[in-house]
Structure 1
Protein backbone atom coordinates (compact mmCIF):
# COMPACT_ATOMS: atom_id res chain seq x y z
CA UNK A 1 0.00 0.00 0.00
CA UNK A 2 1.27 3.44 -0.88
CA UNK A 3 1.60 5.68 0.90
CA UNK A 4 2.12 3.44 3.96
CA UNK A 5 -0.68 3.64 6.52
CA UNK A 6 1.47 5.53 9.02
CA UNK A 7 1.95 8.38 6.51
CA UNK A 8 -1.70 8.62 5.49
CA UNK A 9 -3.55 11.57 6.99
CA UNK A 10 -7.32 11.27 7.45
CA UNK A 11 -8.04 14.12 9.86
CA UNK A 12 -10.13 16.46 7.70
CA UNK A 13 -9.30 19.44 9.94
CA UNK A 14 -5.58 18.94 9.32
CA UNK A 15 -6.17 18.51 5.59
CA UNK A 16 -8.24 21.69 5.37
CA UNK A 17 -5.68 23.60 7.46
CA UNK A 18 -2.90 22.68 5.02
CA UNK A 19 -5.02 23.71 2.03
CA UNK A 20 -5.77 27.07 3.64
CA UNK A 21 -2.13 27.69 4.53
CA UNK A 22 -0.85 26.66 1.06
CA UNK A 23 -3.68 27.58 -1.37
CA UNK A 24 -1.78 27.15 -4.66
CA UNK A 25 -3.25 24.00 -6.22
CA UNK A 26 -1.57 21.96 -8.93
CA UNK A 27 -4.59 20.81 -10.90
CA UNK A 28 -4.38 17.62 -12.96
CA UNK A 29 -6.75 17.35 -15.91
CA UNK A 30 -7.05 14.54 -18.44
CA UNK A 31 -5.37 15.16 -21.77
CA UNK A 32 -6.88 13.49 -24.81
CA UNK A 33 -3.76 14.15 -26.90
CA UNK A 34 -1.08 12.41 -24.84
CA UNK A 35 -2.95 10.20 -22.40
CA UNK A 36 -1.09 12.02 -19.63
CA UNK A 37 -2.35 14.75 -17.35
CA UNK A 38 -2.30 18.41 -18.23
CA UNK A 39 -1.31 20.46 -15.19
CA UNK A 40 -2.06 24.04 -14.28
CA UNK A 41 -1.34 25.96 -11.08
CA UNK A 42 -4.20 27.95 -9.61
CA UNK A 43 -4.65 29.65 -6.24
CA UNK A 44 -7.99 28.57 -4.78
CA UNK A 45 -10.09 29.63 -1.83
CA UNK A 46 -12.03 27.06 0.17
CA UNK A 47 -15.47 28.12 1.37
CA UNK A 48 -16.34 25.93 4.36
CA UNK A 49 -20.03 26.77 4.50
CA UNK A 50 -20.67 25.47 0.97
CA UNK A 51 -17.82 22.92 0.77
CA UNK A 52 -16.47 24.39 -2.48
CA UNK A 53 -13.21 25.81 -3.77
CA UNK A 54 -13.36 28.99 -5.84
CA UNK A 55 -10.93 30.32 -8.43
CA UNK A 56 -10.59 32.18 -11.67
CA UNK A 57 -8.34 31.42 -14.62
CA UNK A 58 -7.64 32.89 -18.06
CA UNK A 59 -10.24 31.99 -20.68
CA UNK A 60 -7.69 29.95 -22.66
CA UNK A 61 -6.73 27.77 -19.66
CA UNK A 62 -7.52 24.10 -20.49
CA UNK A 63 -9.35 23.87 -17.17
CA UNK A 64 -12.21 25.79 -18.79
CA UNK A 65 -12.88 22.71 -20.94
CA UNK A 66 -13.50 20.52 -17.87
CA UNK A 67 -16.99 21.77 -16.95
CA UNK A 68 -18.90 19.00 -15.13
CA UNK A 69 -15.80 16.73 -15.14
CA UNK A 70 -13.60 15.62 -12.27
CA UNK A 71 -10.06 16.85 -11.74
CA UNK A 72 -7.43 16.31 -9.06
CA UNK A 73 -6.26 19.22 -6.88
CA UNK A 74 -2.84 18.72 -5.29
CA UNK A 75 -1.65 20.92 -2.43
CA UNK A 76 1.87 20.79 -1.02
CA UNK A 77 2.82 22.05 2.40
CA UNK A 78 6.30 23.00 3.45
CA UNK A 79 9.03 20.36 3.05
CA UNK A 80 12.64 19.86 4.03
CA UNK A 81 15.57 17.47 4.14
CA UNK A 82 15.75 15.31 7.28
CA UNK A 83 19.36 14.98 8.37
CA UNK A 84 20.28 12.06 10.64
CA UNK A 85 21.77 14.73 12.94
CA UNK A 86 18.19 15.90 13.68
CA UNK A 87 17.57 12.61 15.52
CA UNK A 88 21.00 11.91 17.05
CA UNK A 89 21.70 9.56 14.13
CA UNK A 90 18.62 7.38 14.77
CA UNK A 91 17.21 7.92 11.27
CA UNK A 92 18.52 7.66 7.75
CA UNK A 93 18.61 10.75 5.51
CA UNK A 94 15.09 11.38 4.29
CA UNK A 95 12.65 14.10 3.29
CA UNK A 96 9.76 15.46 5.35
CA UNK A 97 6.64 16.76 3.61
CA UNK A 98 2.87 17.07 3.74
CA UNK A 99 0.45 17.02 0.85
CA UNK A 100 -3.28 16.88 0.21
CA UNK A 101 -5.03 15.40 -2.82
CA UNK A 102 -8.62 16.27 -3.59
CA UNK A 103 -10.81 14.85 -6.32
CA UNK A 104 -13.33 17.52 -7.27
CA UNK A 105 -16.04 18.22 -9.83
CA UNK A 106 -15.56 21.36 -11.94
CA UNK A 107 -18.39 23.83 -12.43
CA UNK A 108 -17.82 26.82 -14.72
CA UNK A 109 -19.74 29.83 -13.40
CA UNK A 110 -22.01 31.55 -15.92
CA UNK A 111 -23.79 34.15 -13.77
CA UNK A 112 -22.28 37.65 -13.74
CA UNK A 113 -23.53 38.09 -10.18
CA UNK A 114 -21.69 34.91 -9.09
CA UNK A 115 -18.54 35.99 -10.94
CA UNK A 116 -18.57 39.30 -9.09
CA UNK A 117 -19.14 37.51 -5.78
CA UNK A 118 -16.22 35.11 -6.37
CA UNK A 119 -13.88 37.94 -7.39
CA UNK A 120 -14.83 39.85 -4.23
CA UNK A 121 -14.25 36.80 -2.02
CA UNK A 122 -10.90 35.97 -3.62
CA UNK A 123 -9.49 39.49 -3.51
CA UNK A 124 -10.78 40.20 -0.01
CA UNK A 125 -9.19 36.99 1.28
CA UNK A 126 -5.81 37.27 -0.47
CA UNK A 127 -5.51 41.04 0.14
CA UNK A 128 -5.74 40.65 3.94
CA UNK A 129 -1.98 40.98 4.58
CA UNK A 130 -1.76 44.18 2.51
CA UNK A 131 -2.24 47.63 3.98
CA UNK A 132 -4.10 49.34 2.50
CA UNK A 133 -6.12 46.47 1.04
CA UNK A 134 -6.89 46.76 -2.66
CA UNK A 135 -10.60 46.43 -3.42
CA UNK A 136 -12.11 45.24 -6.72
CA UNK A 137 -14.86 47.83 -6.29
CA UNK A 138 -12.26 50.55 -6.95
CA UNK A 139 -12.29 49.36 -10.58
CA UNK A 140 -15.15 50.91 -12.57
CA UNK A 141 -17.97 48.48 -13.38
CA UNK A 142 -17.43 48.75 -17.14
CA UNK A 143 -13.72 47.93 -16.74
CA UNK A 144 -14.56 44.98 -14.49
CA UNK A 145 -17.00 43.63 -17.06
CA UNK A 146 -14.29 43.79 -19.75
CA UNK A 147 -11.85 42.07 -17.38
CA UNK A 148 -14.36 39.32 -16.60
CA UNK A 149 -14.72 38.58 -20.32
CA UNK A 150 -11.06 37.47 -20.26
CA UNK A 151 -11.54 35.18 -17.26
CA UNK A 152 -13.40 32.00 -16.40
CA UNK A 153 -14.70 31.60 -12.86
CA UNK A 154 -14.75 28.10 -11.43
CA UNK A 155 -16.08 26.25 -8.43
CA UNK A 156 -14.65 22.86 -7.47
CA UNK A 157 -16.86 20.57 -5.38
CA UNK A 158 -14.72 18.03 -3.49
CA UNK A 159 -15.77 14.40 -3.69
CA UNK A 160 -12.71 12.84 -1.99
CA UNK A 161 -9.94 14.13 0.31
CA UNK A 162 -6.71 12.31 1.18
CA UNK A 163 -3.44 13.31 2.77
CA UNK A 164 0.14 12.13 2.75
CA UNK A 165 2.05 13.53 5.72
CA UNK A 166 5.54 12.00 5.81
CA UNK A 167 6.69 13.18 9.23
CA UNK A 168 8.61 10.23 10.70
CA UNK A 169 5.43 8.67 12.16
CA UNK A 170 7.17 5.28 11.90
CA UNK A 171 9.74 6.38 14.49
CA UNK A 172 9.50 6.21 18.29
CA UNK A 173 8.01 9.15 20.22
CA UNK A 174 11.42 10.14 21.63
CA UNK A 175 13.01 10.21 18.14
CA UNK A 176 10.07 12.24 16.80
CA UNK A 177 10.38 14.67 19.71
CA UNK A 178 14.10 15.12 18.94
CA UNK A 179 13.34 15.71 15.24
CA UNK A 180 10.66 18.27 16.12
CA UNK A 181 13.06 20.10 18.44
CA UNK A 182 15.75 20.13 15.73
CA UNK A 183 13.26 21.48 13.18
CA UNK A 184 12.29 24.30 15.53
CA UNK A 185 15.95 25.17 16.16
CA UNK A 186 16.46 25.25 12.37
CA UNK A 187 13.50 27.69 11.98
CA UNK A 188 11.43 25.08 10.12
CA UNK A 189 8.37 25.94 12.19
CA UNK A 190 5.60 25.08 9.72
CA UNK A 191 6.81 21.47 9.49
CA UNK A 192 7.53 21.22 13.22
CA UNK A 193 3.93 22.27 13.97
CA UNK A 194 2.67 19.17 12.12
CA UNK A 195 4.53 16.79 14.46
Structure 2
Protein backbone atom coordinates (compact mmCIF):
# COMPACT_ATOMS: atom_id res chain seq x y z
CA UNK A 1 0.00 0.00 0.00
CA UNK A 2 1.36 3.42 -0.96
CA UNK A 3 1.81 5.38 2.27
CA UNK A 4 3.46 8.83 2.09
CA UNK A 5 5.27 9.76 5.29
CA UNK A 6 2.65 12.27 6.45
CA UNK A 7 -0.11 9.62 6.19
CA UNK A 8 1.64 7.07 8.38
CA UNK A 9 0.01 6.26 11.75
CA UNK A 10 1.43 8.16 14.68
CA UNK A 11 1.74 4.97 16.73
CA UNK A 12 1.09 1.23 16.66
CA UNK A 13 -1.66 1.89 19.18
CA UNK A 14 -3.51 4.01 16.63
CA UNK A 15 -3.52 1.08 14.19
CA UNK A 16 -4.63 -1.38 16.87
CA UNK A 17 -7.52 0.90 17.78
CA UNK A 18 -8.76 0.75 14.18
CA UNK A 19 -8.67 -3.06 14.31
CA UNK A 20 -10.40 -3.27 17.69
CA UNK A 21 -13.17 -0.92 16.60
CA UNK A 22 -13.61 -2.29 13.09
CA UNK A 23 -16.75 -3.86 11.73
CA UNK A 24 -16.56 -6.10 8.69
CA UNK A 25 -13.32 -6.48 6.75
CA UNK A 26 -12.36 -7.90 3.34
CA UNK A 27 -10.62 -11.29 3.35
CA UNK A 28 -8.73 -11.70 0.07
CA UNK A 29 -6.81 -14.73 -1.16
CA UNK A 30 -5.38 -16.10 -4.40
CA UNK A 31 -5.50 -19.71 -5.53
CA UNK A 32 -6.06 -21.66 -8.73
CA UNK A 33 -5.20 -18.57 -10.77
CA UNK A 34 -7.98 -16.44 -9.34
CA UNK A 35 -8.63 -14.02 -6.50
CA UNK A 36 -11.37 -14.69 -4.00
CA UNK A 37 -12.94 -12.22 -1.59
CA UNK A 38 -15.26 -12.64 1.38
CA UNK A 39 -16.60 -10.29 4.01
CA UNK A 40 -15.20 -11.14 7.44
CA UNK A 41 -16.43 -9.51 10.66
CA UNK A 42 -13.82 -10.24 13.31
CA UNK A 43 -12.61 -9.85 16.87
CA UNK A 44 -8.95 -9.25 17.73
CA UNK A 45 -6.86 -11.62 19.82
CA UNK A 46 -3.64 -10.14 21.26
CA UNK A 47 -1.02 -12.26 22.99
CA UNK A 48 2.20 -10.32 23.43
CA UNK A 49 3.45 -9.52 19.94
CA UNK A 50 1.13 -12.09 18.33
CA UNK A 51 -1.96 -10.65 16.67
CA UNK A 52 -4.85 -12.76 15.39
CA UNK A 53 -8.22 -11.96 13.84
CA UNK A 54 -11.01 -14.42 14.61
CA UNK A 55 -14.22 -14.74 12.61
CA UNK A 56 -16.29 -17.14 10.55
CA UNK A 57 -17.52 -17.82 7.03
CA UNK A 58 -20.60 -19.60 5.78
CA UNK A 59 -19.87 -23.28 5.16
CA UNK A 60 -21.67 -22.89 1.83
CA UNK A 61 -19.10 -20.28 0.79
CA UNK A 62 -16.47 -22.21 -1.24
CA UNK A 63 -13.80 -19.64 -0.36
CA UNK A 64 -12.90 -21.32 2.93
CA UNK A 65 -11.94 -24.58 1.25
CA UNK A 66 -8.78 -23.05 -0.24
CA UNK A 67 -7.82 -21.02 2.83
CA UNK A 68 -6.50 -23.45 5.44
CA UNK A 69 -2.74 -22.95 5.79
CA UNK A 70 -2.61 -20.40 2.97
CA UNK A 71 -1.47 -16.79 2.87
CA UNK A 72 -4.11 -14.12 2.55
CA UNK A 73 -4.81 -10.42 2.95
CA UNK A 74 -7.31 -8.71 5.20
CA UNK A 75 -8.28 -5.15 4.33
CA UNK A 76 -9.83 -3.24 7.22
CA UNK A 77 -11.85 -0.14 6.42
CA UNK A 78 -11.83 2.80 8.79
CA UNK A 79 -13.80 6.02 8.25
CA UNK A 80 -13.77 7.62 4.80
CA UNK A 81 -15.32 10.77 3.34
CA UNK A 82 -15.17 13.06 0.34
CA UNK A 83 -13.32 16.36 0.81
CA UNK A 84 -14.53 19.37 -1.18
CA UNK A 85 -11.89 22.01 -1.98
CA UNK A 86 -14.61 24.61 -1.47
CA UNK A 87 -14.03 24.45 2.29
CA UNK A 88 -10.33 25.35 2.12
CA UNK A 89 -9.51 28.91 3.22
CA UNK A 90 -6.57 28.74 0.79
CA UNK A 91 -9.03 28.46 -2.12
CA UNK A 92 -9.87 32.14 -1.73
CA UNK A 93 -6.19 33.06 -1.94
CA UNK A 94 -4.91 31.12 -4.95
CA UNK A 95 -7.57 28.71 -6.32
CA UNK A 96 -4.93 25.95 -6.58
CA UNK A 97 -7.02 23.30 -4.89
CA UNK A 98 -8.71 20.07 -6.01
CA UNK A 99 -11.12 17.54 -4.49
CA UNK A 100 -9.80 14.52 -2.62
CA UNK A 101 -10.84 11.69 -0.35
CA UNK A 102 -9.88 11.20 3.28
CA UNK A 103 -9.77 7.67 4.65
CA UNK A 104 -8.25 5.20 7.08
CA UNK A 105 -7.18 1.76 5.85
CA UNK A 106 -5.27 -1.09 7.45
CA UNK A 107 -3.89 -3.87 5.24
CA UNK A 108 -2.83 -7.10 6.92
CA UNK A 109 -0.87 -10.01 5.47
CA UNK A 110 -0.93 -13.34 7.20
CA UNK A 111 -1.83 -17.02 7.29
CA UNK A 112 -5.30 -18.54 7.66
CA UNK A 113 -6.30 -21.52 9.77
CA UNK A 114 -9.78 -22.97 9.39
CA UNK A 115 -11.62 -24.36 12.44
CA UNK A 116 -14.56 -26.75 12.27
CA UNK A 117 -14.83 -27.57 15.99
CA UNK A 118 -18.27 -26.38 17.22
CA UNK A 119 -16.87 -25.19 20.57
CA UNK A 120 -14.22 -22.99 18.88
CA UNK A 121 -16.79 -21.52 16.52
CA UNK A 122 -19.30 -20.87 19.30
CA UNK A 123 -16.71 -19.01 21.36
CA UNK A 124 -15.94 -16.73 18.42
CA UNK A 125 -19.61 -16.23 17.56
CA UNK A 126 -20.29 -15.28 21.18
CA UNK A 127 -17.41 -12.79 21.18
CA UNK A 128 -18.57 -11.27 17.89
CA UNK A 129 -22.09 -10.93 19.25
CA UNK A 130 -20.87 -9.23 22.42
CA UNK A 131 -18.71 -6.86 20.39
CA UNK A 132 -21.41 -5.68 18.02
CA UNK A 133 -24.52 -5.89 20.21
CA UNK A 134 -23.28 -3.03 22.39
CA UNK A 135 -25.10 -0.65 20.02
CA UNK A 136 -28.45 -2.34 20.72
CA UNK A 137 -30.95 -1.02 23.23
CA UNK A 138 -31.72 -4.61 24.24
CA UNK A 139 -28.58 -6.61 23.36
CA UNK A 140 -29.13 -10.07 21.92
CA UNK A 141 -27.23 -12.99 23.42
CA UNK A 142 -26.44 -16.34 21.85
CA UNK A 143 -28.24 -17.96 24.78
CA UNK A 144 -31.47 -16.17 23.81
CA UNK A 145 -32.06 -18.66 20.97
CA UNK A 146 -33.01 -22.33 21.46
CA UNK A 147 -29.99 -24.63 21.87
CA UNK A 148 -30.89 -26.90 18.97
CA UNK A 149 -31.25 -23.87 16.70
CA UNK A 150 -27.84 -22.49 17.74
CA UNK A 151 -26.26 -25.90 17.13
CA UNK A 152 -27.70 -26.00 13.61
CA UNK A 153 -26.42 -22.50 12.91
CA UNK A 154 -22.93 -23.39 14.15
CA UNK A 155 -22.84 -26.34 11.78
CA UNK A 156 -23.55 -23.93 8.92
CA UNK A 157 -20.33 -21.95 9.42
CA UNK A 158 -16.59 -22.54 9.73
CA UNK A 159 -14.22 -20.64 11.98
CA UNK A 160 -11.47 -18.45 10.55
CA UNK A 161 -8.25 -17.64 12.42
CA UNK A 162 -6.00 -15.14 10.67
CA UNK A 163 -2.46 -14.92 12.06
CA UNK A 164 -1.11 -11.45 11.21
CA UNK A 165 2.40 -11.37 9.82
CA UNK A 166 2.67 -7.83 8.40
CA UNK A 167 0.68 -4.67 8.94
CA UNK A 168 0.40 -1.54 6.79
CA UNK A 169 -1.77 1.37 7.84
CA UNK A 170 -2.68 4.60 6.09
CA UNK A 171 -4.34 7.54 7.83
CA UNK A 172 -5.07 10.07 5.07
CA UNK A 173 -6.61 12.86 7.12
CA UNK A 174 -5.55 16.14 5.48
CA UNK A 175 -2.12 16.11 7.15
CA UNK A 176 -0.66 17.35 3.85
CA UNK A 177 -2.73 20.54 3.97
CA UNK A 178 -1.83 23.63 5.95
CA UNK A 179 -3.39 23.83 9.40
CA UNK A 180 -6.18 26.23 8.36
CA UNK A 181 -7.32 23.96 5.55
CA UNK A 182 -7.15 20.82 7.68
CA UNK A 183 -9.20 22.38 10.46
CA UNK A 184 -11.74 23.61 7.90
CA UNK A 185 -12.08 20.05 6.61
CA UNK A 186 -12.70 18.75 10.12
CA UNK A 187 -15.32 21.47 10.73
CA UNK A 188 -17.01 20.46 7.48
CA UNK A 189 -17.09 16.83 8.60
CA UNK A 190 -18.94 17.95 11.72
CA UNK A 191 -21.38 19.98 9.63
CA UNK A 192 -22.05 16.96 7.39
CA UNK A 193 -22.42 14.63 10.39
CA UNK A 194 -19.45 12.54 9.22
CA UNK A 195 -18.82 11.78 12.86
CA UNK A 196 -16.28 8.97 12.44
CA UNK A 197 -14.14 11.07 10.13
CA UNK A 198 -14.49 14.08 12.44
CA UNK A 199 -13.21 11.96 15.32
CA UNK A 200 -10.43 10.43 13.21
CA UNK A 201 -9.16 13.96 12.55
CA UNK A 202 -8.89 14.58 16.29
CA UNK A 203 -5.12 14.97 15.94
CA UNK A 204 -5.88 18.62 15.02
CA UNK A 205 -6.94 19.29 18.62
CA UNK A 206 -3.29 18.94 19.62
CA UNK A 207 -2.00 21.44 17.04
Q: Output the TM-score relative to the length of structure 1.
A: 0.86
2:102 to 96, 104, 110: 96
Task: Report the counterpart of residue 157 of structure 1 in structure 2.
Answer: 163
Taking the aligned partners of 2:125 and 2:195, their CA distance within structure 1 comes to: 32
Alignment of 1:109-148 (within 5 A): 109-148=115-154
Q: String of CA shifts for 1:109-151, please: whole Å, max 9, x gaps.
A: 2433222211211112222222322221233333333222211
Taking the aligned partners of 1:125 and 1:182, their CA distance within structure 2 comes to: 30
Contact 1:10 1:162 in 2 (8 A): no
- Check 1:92–1:51 CA distance in 2 against 1; reply closer, same or farther (3 A cut): same
Contact 2:26 2:37 in 1 (8 A): yes
Alignment of 1:35-114 (within 5 A): 37-49=35-47, 51-61=51-61, 62-88=63-89, 89=91, 91-114=97-120
- Helix, strand or coil: the match of 1:80? strand
- The structure whose residues are more often helix, as a share, is 2
Deviation at 1:153, TM superposition (A): 0.9
Consecutive unaligned residues of structure 2, counting only runs of 5 or more, are: 202-207
Consecutive unaligned residues of structure 1, counting only runs of 5 or more, are: none
- Helix, strand or coil: the match of 1:99? strand
Aligned residues: 193
Deviation at 1:10, TM superposition (A): 5.8
Task: Report the counterpart of residue 205 of structure 2 in structure 1.
Answer: none
Q: String of CA shifts for 1:8-66, please: whole Å, max 9, x gaps.
A: 336222222223333211111103143xx211112111133573211111113203421
Q: Output the TM-score relative to the length of structure 2.
A: 0.82
- Helix, strand or coil: the match of 2:187? helix
Task: Report the counterpart of residue 182 of structure 1 in structure 2.
Answer: 188
Task: Report the counterpart of residue 24 of structure 2 in structure 1.
Answer: 24
